[in-house]
Structure 1
Amino acid sequence: MTSANLSHHPTAVGSPDTMVWIEGGSFHMGAENFYPEEGPVHRVRVDGFWIDPAPVTNHEFARFVTETGYITVAELPPDPALYPGADPAMLRPGSLVFRGPKRREDMRFWGDWWHYVPGAYWRRPDGISDLSDELMDHPVVHVAHADAVAYARWAGKSLPTEAEWEFAARGGLDGADYGWGDEFEPDGRKMANVWNGAFPMQSTGAGAFGTSAVCSYPPNAFGVFDMIGNVWEWTDDYWMDRHTDDAAKPCCVPVNPRISDAAQSFDRQQAAIRVPRKVLKGGSHLCAPTYCRRYRPAARHPEMIDSATTHVGFRCVVRSKPGDGSFAGAVEGIDG
């Protein structure tokens, strides 16, 4: 078990929030008792780093857009060359929006509740209405990987590696199923924004379904909020179907591992589409005990780098040490 220094870094360039210092250490990455892509369990060591205490919010992303004039991927038409044979209606600016089916006979497969909506983007999450004031403290969504990278660079930060993200999400509870222990709802207490009820027909309780304001649920032992649930979060690692078998060998403990090979990340079931995929972590408000138990630190999911949806956001890291006095020289290059 590890501990964290919960001091905060001075405000970064372009960033209004403080950051939490995560002391480096080793941990068991992955899991064997949920989904095959999470294995094999293997020991990893990471150096210390600063991490945003919560996902980047609409308010923070709006500041970035205002100061830079940045246009997100969802606001641009997809490149037809990347999607041979695609329906022209799908090649308009827009994004994927979740709309729960109203009837059980509409629950044949995931495409019955995910819809490509022209005009949907970060400022208009449902494709219809602009963000309200009450949503400005919610995580920004409809951000593709390039959008997250652009924000991170503007803020003088980086996206976390998968190992960094999982280490921070575990909060020092090495090997625990969740970021707070082995019980999903200890003493009946809801610890994260995940789906309530029978997915995808019904979500019950306060707020029904959707994102929640950041920091609405308890932080983990490192003092970091919303690592689990609310929104999936981009990392900077390319996808592999499983962790490498070599990583599990006791002789060799990877230090600051990073998967930088895009070639092996392509979706073999869509061979004509040559768009790399990166790793998402943490699950979202659409993860349910009855459907998707990916509201855990070890959980991982592939996402094409040009994809944006209503349940994917991000947070940033800085790889410097306490006492450096600035972020100068702390930002590392990022594979696009």
Structure 2
Amino acid sequence: MKILYYACFSSLVLFGCNAGPSESAVHASDSDSIMTCANVIPSRFSSLSQDSLNYISGKDHVKMILIPAGEFKMGSTNFDDAQPLHNVELNSFWMDEHEVTNAQFEAFVESTGYVTIAERPLDPADFPGVDPKKLIPGSAVFSAPKNIQGLNNHLQWWEYVPGANWRQPEGPNSSITGKESHPVTQLAYQDAEAYAKWAGKRLPTEAEWEYAAKGGKHQNEIYYWGNEKKEDGKWLANIYQGEFPTHNTKEDGYETTAPVKSFPANALGLYDMEGNVWEWCADLYRPDYYASSPRLNPRGPSDAYDPQEPGTEKRVQRGGSFLCNDQYCERYKAGSRGKGEVNSPTNNVGFRCVKDIK
């Protein structure tokens, strides 16, 4: 498989998962509501006893929350590729309560000797015409520019950094030491998939991800938790505050990733379903898939297609990251979809796992 993110960086690092300048808001009908057996669970701000959250621990020893079977209305009228709204019915499944952390991924690497895409040597045969001395493994890192010319060119704030990988998310001068509880980043899709298989789990479908994120909330709410970004003056997710991308005021306390479980859980007991890092889903990405999506346990299309980059394989990403706000990258909002080229890891994308109930 070719490693595309180096030589073709300017085209592949469009970070479709990061959306782009804000899209026009169109409010969903108040009559569109989520229908689920989970709607009896208290709101995210209620006190949840441990007994009310049935859970198991997987091979990686992370708590998994039971997501009960049910039906919900999937999608968003605010984003073209998240339409039409459609009813989806899902079986019960288990989901990690938080994103996979650096410590968890390190345990996987120590157990298996796995080497991620961003760490692997680059084959000169895959990059004809490129000086082999310049083919240094690395990955894409967000770098705040001092000045920008509009928000249409993402290369103003993304940079390919040799040596950037999950151990050094921002490059050789960075480290995960002291950040063991932060979500792991700089992983390509197959890296996340390899971890999930090792743990005896799998990556969630985007239908499972959205259903769990909504947790019984109504369709017309702006965010997965409701309509406000703060509760009692406190931010409810790790997103970007300030003037993107030049000045992050860090009002939520974090410039990049936050330790998992730093913000309130949703009604099901799941953390960081919005913000912190984007999360890989199993589905291939097509903007037109919802028109033909099956009602029962949809698994995504059989092929990938992005009109912005035809011929590039992309998978769905969900939830937004620490770089999302309403000025740029609105796709952290409820029902929206992100996308990412499968071989292009970045320092704002991670994942969590699910497990089937047999």
- TM-score normalised according to structure 1 size: 0.85
The structure 1 residue matched to 2:299, chosen from 236, 241, 258, is 258
The structure 2 residue matched to 1:302, chosen from 336, 339, 344, is 339
The structure 2 residue matched to 1:291, chosen from 310, 328, 348, is 328
Distance change (3 Å), C-alpha of 1:85 and 1:255: farther
Distance of 1:74 and 1:259 partners within structure 2: 26
Give the aligned partner of residue 182 of structure 2: 138
Distance change (3 Å), C-alpha of 1:219 and 1:208: closer
How far off its partner does 1:186 sit? 4.5
Give the aligned partner of residue 121 of structure 1: 165
Q: Determine if the alignment matches structure 1 residue 21 to structure 2 residue 48.
A: no
Two-structure CA RMSD over aligned residues (Å): 2.3
Mapping 1:24-39, distance limit 5 Å: 24-33=69-78, 35-39=79-83
Q: Determine if the alignment matches structure 1 residue 198 to structure 2 residue 256.
A: no
Alpha-carbon contact 2:283-2:315 (below 8 Å) kept: yes
Give the aligned partner of residue 218 of structure 1: 264
Unaligned runs of 5+ in 1: 248-252, 322-336
How far off its partner does 1:84 sit? 7.0
How far off its partner does 1:89 sit? 7.8
Distance of 2:95 and 2:285 partners within structure 1: 22
Give the aligned partner of residue 118 of structure 2: 74
Structure 2 letter corresponding to 1:192: A
Alpha-carbon contact 2:275-2:319 (below 8 Å) kept: yes
Between Structure 1 and Structure 2, how many residues are aligned?
Answer: 309
Give the aligned partner of residue 212 of structure 2: 168
Give the aligned partner of residue 232 of structure 1: 278
How far off its partner does 1:103 sit? 2.4
Q: Secondary structure at the match of 1:303?
A: strand
Map Cα deviations across residues 7-62 of structure 1 (whole Å, 9 max, x no partner). Answer: 111x322x1212100001011101002x2112111110111100000000000000
Alpha-carbon contact 2:168-2:175 (below 8 Å) kept: yes
Structure 2 letter corresponding to 1:194: I
Distance of 1:186 and 1:85 partners within structure 2: 55
How far off its partner does 1:243 sit? 3.6
Alpha-carbon contact 2:168-2:176 (below 8 Å) kept: no
Q: Secondary structure at the match of 1:149?
A: helix
Distance of 2:143 and 2:90 partners within structure 1: 39
Distance change (3 Å), C-alpha of 1:47 and 1:93: same
Q: Determine if the alignment matches structure 1 residue 244 to structure 2 residue 259.
A: no
Alpha-carbon contact 1:281-1:297 (below 8 Å) kept: no
Structure 2 letter corresponding to 1:291: Y
Q: Secondary structure at the match of 2:89?
A: strand
How far off its partner does 1:187 sit? 5.1
Return 253-262 or 73-82, whichever deviates more: 73-82
Q: Secondary structure at the match of 1:50?
A: strand
The structure 2 residue matched to 1:59, chosen from 103, 116, 122, is 103
Distance of 1:107 and 1:87 partners within structure 2: 32
Give the aligned partner of residue 53 of structure 2: 6
Distance of 2:283 and 2:137 partners within structure 1: 26
Distance of 2:234 and 2:227 partners within structure 1: 13
Structure 1 letter corresponding to 2:268: F
Map Cα deviations across residues 153-181 of structure 1 (whole Å, 9 max, x no partner). Answer: 00000000010000001111131322211
Distance of 1:82 and 1:268 partners within structure 2: 24
Map Cα deviations across residues 224-247 of structure 1 (whole Å, 9 max, x no partner). Answer: 000100000000000011343244
Distance change (3 Å), C-alpha of 1:257 and 1:187: same
Distance change (3 Å), C-alpha of 1:16 and 1:315: same
Q: Secondary structure at the match of 2:247?
A: coil
Map Cα deviations across residues 46-104 of structure 1 (whole Å, 9 max, x no partner). Answer: 11100000000000000000111000011124566767777868743111100000124
Alpha-carbon contact 2:54-2:65 (below 8 Å) kept: yes
Mapping 1:37-56, distance limit 5 Å: 37-56=81-100
Distance of 1:177 and 1:232 partners within structure 2: 18
How far off its partner does 1:290 sit? 1.3
Q: Secondary structure at the match of 2:207?
A: helix
How far off its partner does 1:132 sit? 4.0
Q: Secondary structure at the match of 2:235?
A: coil
Alpha-carbon contact 1:160-1:317 (below 8 Å) kept: yes
Alpha-carbon contact 1:40-1:242 (below 8 Å) kept: no
- TM-score normalised according to structure 2 size: 0.80
Give the aligned partner of residue 102 of structure 1: 146
Q: Secondary structure at the match of 2:283?
A: strand
Distance of 1:83 and 1:31 partners within structure 2: 40
Distance change (3 Å), C-alpha of 1:318 and 1:128: same
Distance of 2:123 and 2:301 partners within structure 1: 24
Unaligned runs of 5+ in 2: 1-34, 42-51
Q: Determine if the alignment matches structure 1 residue 209 to structure 2 residue 250.
A: no
Distance of 2:344 and 2:331 partners within structure 1: 19
